[in-house]
Structure 1
Amino acid sequence: MTEFEGIVPALGRALDKRGYTELTQVQKAVLELEPAGADALVSAQTGSGKTVAFGIALAPTLLDGGERFDRAAAPLGLAVAPTRELALQVKRELEWLYAETGAVIASCVGGMDIRTERRALERGAHIVVGTPGRLCDHIRRHALDMSDLRAVVLDEADEMLDLGFREDLEFILDAAPAERRTLMFSATVSRTIANLAKNYQRDAVRITTAAEQKQHVDIDYRGFLAVPQERENAIINVLRYYEARNALVFCNTRATVNHLTARFNNRGFSVVALSGELSQSERTHALQAMRDGRARVCVATDVAARGIDLPNLELVVHADLPTNTETLLHRSGRTGRAGRKGVSALIVAPNGRRRAERLLRDAKVRLEWGSPPSAEEVLRRDDERLMADPNLDDPIQENETEFVEALLAKHGAEQVAAAFVRLHRGKLSAPEDVTEVTIFDSGNAREERKPRREDFDQSTWFSLSVGRKQNAEPRWLIPLLCRAGELTKSEIGAIKMQQDETYVELDATCVQRFLSTIGPEALLERSIRVVQLDGVPEFAPRNGPKPFGAKRRPVGKPHRKGGGGEWRDDAKPWAKKDGKPKFGKPAGGKKKPRKKPD
């Protein structure tokens, strides 16, 4: 049995049963508070074990020297968290940590039945965990008795202030007894956090763990540069390349969450969505699907960035760049927890790299930039995983021997192996083609830019029977050519739009493949006909000369009394005087009124 010095024995046994062999830095720090039982302002990284830290720190205060709690009555401890998910997670953590103390733990969170919570409070609870808004409702309705409260914990205090809960927090702290213990946990300590601590804590001890000074060593940060129109393809390839047991894809808006969820679902991923527009029941079911393996990918807004603890979360993908360093760290902190390794991947457009690097520099995170995994790399990684499958090393069981021999006798080893490979690959989503982005050293002002199509050594021109009249645009013509003709973007050169047709330049090395793919009728989608040309076509200028007789504006406007500007030859005067053109104002025009004499 492992001994944890300074911890209440009942909690020490719970940690031992949970498999703890050593405490984290923040857990050790709260045990070494001087004086013991003092208020504390703790800044520690996400995933560093803060919930267990304040659980073991509060135990002596709540138990008051005893081994077990007496009958539950008015709450002795209160923990406040910014989101429903985090509050419910804190409750689960405290339940196993305080299991041997007989503690009754109640939750008060938005989105749940308030009548059920009120009945739980009436029956009595030793510790209450809740969100600011719902706790304020119970206090105002006199359902939550704060008179016996010995300690209050504010978890993720910076996030609660960012979400606009300052007034609610002040109301809760004002309702608590003055002679209480107050612990604040925050990823960063801003001026507003410091002011809140100054007003509601007494001689608080400031704790900063060493982990706050450096990036989380269990998280491998990766930066992938993708052209904007291929962002979704890049995310799909990243998900396929890592094949994580659980993956979180973060977006900045609900609309993007819904779009990506639909796209991933169509591509065969087991995916769920998580955003603020969902009810509490829907959000709970989505997280449960991730935990029990029914879903492997969760697309979420930042509502999920705090408080979600998925044991098998191995990959975090930032589909949209986070707005600040705190959000970046909290998003990434969903993985790489409790000693497990994880990957945090940023999908960034080339012109957004400089902003991303500023964000990473402020967060003290370092990474190397690269292109998203190509389709070939994804397929190669699939083969590597298949070769390393432990089922291939397991001995044949007795109940399998007879059928294995019959299978080999009928089809042969090679055919059986081929069928096995086909079955394995058939379960996986096909990877996407992505453009490789040239990576430059960011240096001073140099940025990545989309690889420019160089002039081909030899090229062939084709005519497409669609032009400006038919609203033809390169942005949908290029994908059309790639799909229908099995081309890559690098094999497509110049595109010249005409009124009724479009000229497209292709690399000579792909011409035969292109022609054989589109077939003898040479038709693309939308009934677009393709014609191969000899040589370079003559291009009509986009803005050609205006037709004869068109009105032309004067180059400059002359003054009324001559001088200043010139007129074109075809400009027509409005009148003549003494045989000479007159360009002034026509007679009968409005005149300015004379100024009356004083």
Structure 2
Amino acid sequence: MSEDTRIAAPLATALQKKGFDTLTPVQSAVLDPEIGEQDLLVSAQTGSGKTVAFGLALSSTLLDGAPVLPVAEAPHALIIAPTRELALQVKKELEWLYAPAGGQVASCIGGMDMRDERRALDRGPHIVVGTPGRLVDHIHRGSLDMSQLKAIVLDEADEMLNMGFREELEEILESAPEERRTLLFSATVSKPIARLAENYQKDALRLNTITEREQHGDIDYQAVVVAPDDVEKAIINLLLQHDAPNALVFCARREGVNKLTARLNNRGFAVVALSGEFSQKERSNALIAMRDGRARVCVATDVAARGIDLPGLDLVVHADLPSNPETLLHRSGRTGRAGRKGASVVIVPGRARRRAERVLKSAGVSASWGTAPSPEDIRNSLDARILANPVLEDGVTEQESDLVNTLVARFEPYQLAAAFVRLARSGQSLPEDLQDPGDVSAPRERSRDREYDPDRRDRERERPGRSRGPDFEDSAWVALGVGRRQSADPKWLVPMLCKNGGFPRSSIGVINISPNETHVELRPQAADQLMERAGERQIIDKSLFVQRVSGPSETITKSDMPDRGERPRQRRASRDDEEWTTKPARKGPKKPRGPNGEKKRSPKRKPRDS
């Protein structure tokens, strides 16, 4: 390693044992000799090796040129992380990095037994890694001695502020000695981060190690447009086609995690879930199942998945759209780590197209737009994996030769090949049939300069918001038994037609609204679906009559309306009916009474003066 001269000898030994050939940009940046003992404000992307980076940055402060760390009566360094999983991952990384130097690392995280943590703190660890809430608890109980701290590291400081840990962070920083190093690592340097650095750092050196290539170079971004009802089906088809060793699916809420986990489990996927409602033991078991291969899909919320580092994580799926660019980058940063290639797929329901475009553009991501894999695409991918199976090229061992000769003598080669295909396909979940989501081409740049058209407003009033494409050259027309007099409006007609017909908005062309009826232009397949669901009575949405017509000029006649049957009129009950009953009188407030129980009479009003 070319940077050996800048790395403390014990840490260089640990890096060589781990197989580090070169350092990442953030690791090289913190080893600059001009930094010395300065405070640092570092912009580092998820998956850039920042845990090893601040471990290297602390070496000069903790070792001070010595080959091993001295015995510690109290911790010398404190690492603060936003979540339990990230804290445990940081602890694991620092343990092997400081092992040659005799470093002892302890953790203080929520969900663990505080008595065990207190005993670990009493053994004199050099470094303590914890989450903000649990660290504050130990400070209040006096089990965490902050008097000998030489350095504090805030890992993913932006996320800790987003999670509402500002007060806890300020209390921890104010409890530490004033003469210390403070290192802030954050993906973004927002105003709250800058304010925190200004209040608790001294002349901090700003290091920006995020580059466009580092964020997106090893990640293939894809935007998959689906019909609103096909989100879960699209995820199933994506998982089948990619067949990644580990896949991570993000949901916005816990309810979504539970629902999708149950759906995937029913379809035969080896799946685990991660959300804030799970205990630490359940979350740890889920990660262990992913690492040892018992599970291949993890469905998680954003907070629960913070800091997860899974080997072979080649696919990240956004079941719910990220709320902002930072969330998109943090989620996607779980894959494409340490030089590995990965894919980040954003599921885009048709109605959320523009919001997805804004998030991708704000994140500086160029995504390829398309549709979810079809059943045919999945079958082709599976066939390609069967043909590329290495067992087809491996030689026959002595232990297999007898059975192989017996099979060849008893069965034809064609039958043996068919048996191999059946075995390879056994246990595979069946793909889902998806609806046509409509136009999925990449978004075009919208120009503000538009030629004046006096009739544009009238045409846009008739259309649901999309221009006619080439598929409308051979369109079909339907007429609805509702018009302007019944308050017909595209705002509710378009979603009603899409829901009842099972097609996207792009399948609707021109909408002509007359006083008593409405003519709608549809793609031929959409018209067939709508009429099939309308049934013989030609009724949609419980009471709306629909009829196929030759064009916008053909009208609906009363003879075309189906016989819906006469509704029996409810006859008002009379006193002659045997079953007639009167309603009980409503009880009002009791009238006031006097001291002996007599009723009080209301005072007579005085006559008005004429």
Matched residue of 2:385: which SS? helix
- Report the counterpart of residue 248 of structure 1 in structure 2: 248
| Residues 213, 441 of structure 1: alpha-carbon distance in 2 compared, 3 angstrom cutoff | closer
> Are the aligned partners of 2:325 and 2:359 in contact in 1 as well (CA < 8 Å)?
yes
Distance 2:442 2:102 in 1: 60
1:300: how far off? 0.5
- Report the counterpart of residue 492 of structure 1 in structure 2: 528
Within-5 A mapping of 1:416-495: 416-436=416-436, 437-444=438-445, 492-495=528-531
| Residues 476, 423 of structure 1: alpha-carbon distance in 2 compared, 3 angstrom cutoff | farther
> Are the aligned partners of 1:236 and 1:431 in contact in 2 as well (CA < 8 Å)?
yes
Structure 1 gaps of 5+ residues are 460-471, 480-487, 505-535, 551-595
> Are the aligned partners of 2:45 and 2:210 in contact in 1 as well (CA < 8 Å)?
no
| Residues 296, 476 of structure 1: alpha-carbon distance in 2 compared, 3 angstrom cutoff | farther
Distance 1:451 1:113 in 2: 64
> Are the aligned partners of 1:105 and 1:126 in contact in 2 as well (CA < 8 Å)?
yes
> Are the aligned partners of 1:44 and 1:212 in contact in 2 as well (CA < 8 Å)?
no
> Are the aligned partners of 2:500 and 2:533 in contact in 1 as well (CA < 8 Å)?
no
Give the residue type in structure 2 aligned to 1:227. Answer: A
Distance 2:560 2:99 in 1: 82
Distance 1:37 1:218 in 2: 34
- Report the counterpart of residue 557 of structure 1 in structure 2: none
Is residue 2:312 matched to residue 1:312?
yes
Higher alpha-carbon deviation: 337-346 or 27-36: 27-36
1:361: how far off? 1.0
- Report the counterpart of residue 392 of structure 1 in structure 2: 392
Structure 2 gaps of 5+ residues are 448-464, 478-495, 504-523, 541-553, 571-608
Matched residue of 2:215: which SS? coil
Give the residue type in structure 1 aligned to 2:362. Answer: D
1:309: how far off? 0.3
> Are the aligned partners of 1:290 and 1:298 in contact in 2 as well (CA < 8 Å)?
yes
- Report the counterpart of residue 9 of structure 1 in structure 2: 9
Distance 2:469 2:427 in 1: 34
Distance 2:476 2:501 in 1: 22
1:427: how far off? 1.8
> Are the aligned partners of 1:498 and 1:542 in contact in 2 as well (CA < 8 Å)?
no
Give the residue type in structure 2 aligned to 1:355. Answer: R
| Residues 78, 441 of structure 1: alpha-carbon distance in 2 compared, 3 angstrom cutoff | closer
Q: List, as ranges, runs of 4+ consecutive aligned residues in structure 1 with deviation greater than 4 Å.
A: 444-459, 472-479, 488-491, 496-500, 536-547
Within-5 A mapping of 1:152-231: 152-211=152-211, 215-231=215-231
- Alignment length (residue pairs): 501
Higher alpha-carbon deviation: 432-441 or 242-251: 432-441
1:351: how far off? 2.2
> Are the aligned partners of 2:235 and 2:319 in contact in 1 as well (CA < 8 Å)?
yes
Within-5 A mapping of 1:319-334: 319-334=319-334
1:212: how far off? 5.5
| Residues 357, 252 of structure 1: alpha-carbon distance in 2 compared, 3 angstrom cutoff | same
1:442: how far off? 2.5
> Are the aligned partners of 2:501 and 2:526 in contact in 1 as well (CA < 8 Å)?
no
Give the residue type in structure 2 aligned to 1:283. Answer: R
Distance 1:137 1:448 in 2: 57
| Residues 498, 246 of structure 1: alpha-carbon distance in 2 compared, 3 angstrom cutoff | closer
> Are the aligned partners of 1:252 and 1:301 in contact in 2 as well (CA < 8 Å)?
yes
1:19: how far off? 0.9
Give the residue type in structure 2 aligned to 1:426. Answer: S
> Are the aligned partners of 2:370 and 2:441 in contact in 1 as well (CA < 8 Å)?
no
> Are the aligned partners of 1:33 and 1:205 in contact in 2 as well (CA < 8 Å)?
no
- Report the counterpart of residue 352 of structure 1 in structure 2: 352
Distance 2:442 2:67 in 1: 61
- Report the counterpart of residue 290 of structure 1 in structure 2: 290
1:304: how far off? 3.2
1:277-311 CA distances to partner (integer Å, 9 max, x unpaired)? 00000000001100000000000011234200001
| Residues 497, 377 of structure 1: alpha-carbon distance in 2 compared, 3 angstrom cutoff | closer
Matched residue of 1:348: which SS? strand
1:215: how far off? 3.3
Distance 1:148 1:371 in 2: 58
Matched residue of 2:278: which SS? coil
Give the residue type in structure 1 aligned to 2:257. Answer: V
> Are the aligned partners of 2:501 and 2:533 in contact in 1 as well (CA < 8 Å)?
no
1:211: how far off? 2.2
1:327: how far off? 0.8
Give the residue type in structure 2 aligned to 1:439. Answer: V
| Residues 458, 476 of structure 1: alpha-carbon distance in 2 compared, 3 angstrom cutoff | closer
Distance 1:496 1:405 in 2: 57
> Are the aligned partners of 1:132 and 1:168 in contact in 2 as well (CA < 8 Å)?
yes
> Are the aligned partners of 1:39 and 1:205 in contact in 2 as well (CA < 8 Å)?
yes
Give the residue type in structure 1 aligned to 2:18. Answer: R
- Taking structure 2 as the reference length, the TM-score comes to 0.76
1:491: how far off? 8.9
- Report the counterpart of residue 44 of structure 2 in structure 1: 44
1:175-227 CA distances to partner (integer Å, 9 max, x unpaired)? 11000000000000000000000010010000001426763201110110000
Distance 2:144 2:396 in 1: 62
Distance 2:30 2:283 in 1: 33
1:498: how far off? 6.9
Within-5 A mapping of 1:55-204: 55-204=55-204
| Residues 394, 107 of structure 1: alpha-carbon distance in 2 compared, 3 angstrom cutoff | same
1:151: how far off? 0.3
| Residues 105, 503 of structure 1: alpha-carbon distance in 2 compared, 3 angstrom cutoff | same
Distance 1:457 1:71 in 2: 82
Within-5 A mapping of 1:518-533: none
- Report the counterpart of residue 300 of structure 1 in structure 2: 300
| Residues 236, 489 of structure 1: alpha-carbon distance in 2 compared, 3 angstrom cutoff | farther
- Report the counterpart of residue 556 of structure 1 in structure 2: none
- Report the counterpart of residue 550 of structure 2 in structure 1: none
Matched residue of 2:67: which SS? coil
1:493: how far off? 3.8
| Residues 502, 33 of structure 1: alpha-carbon distance in 2 compared, 3 angstrom cutoff | farther
- Taking structure 1 as the reference length, the TM-score comes to 0.78
1:541: how far off? 4.6
1:325: how far off? 1.0
| Residues 476, 119 of structure 1: alpha-carbon distance in 2 compared, 3 angstrom cutoff | farther
Distance 1:543 1:320 in 2: 45
> Are the aligned partners of 1:14 and 1:99 in contact in 2 as well (CA < 8 Å)?
yes
1:34: how far off? 2.5
> Are the aligned partners of 1:496 and 1:503 in contact in 2 as well (CA < 8 Å)?
no
| Residues 45, 499 of structure 1: alpha-carbon distance in 2 compared, 3 angstrom cutoff | closer
Q: Please tell me the root mean square deviation across aligned C-alpha atoms, in Å.
A: 3.3
Matched residue of 1:282: which SS? helix
1:317-372 CA distances to partner (integer Å, 9 max, x unpaired)? 00000111111100000000011110000000122111111111111111121011
1:364-389 CA distances to partner (integer Å, 9 max, x unpaired)? 11112101111100110011111111
1:493-541 CA distances to partner (integer Å, 9 max, x unpaired)? 442777984489xxxxxxxxxxxxxxxxxxxxxxxxxxxxxxx999855
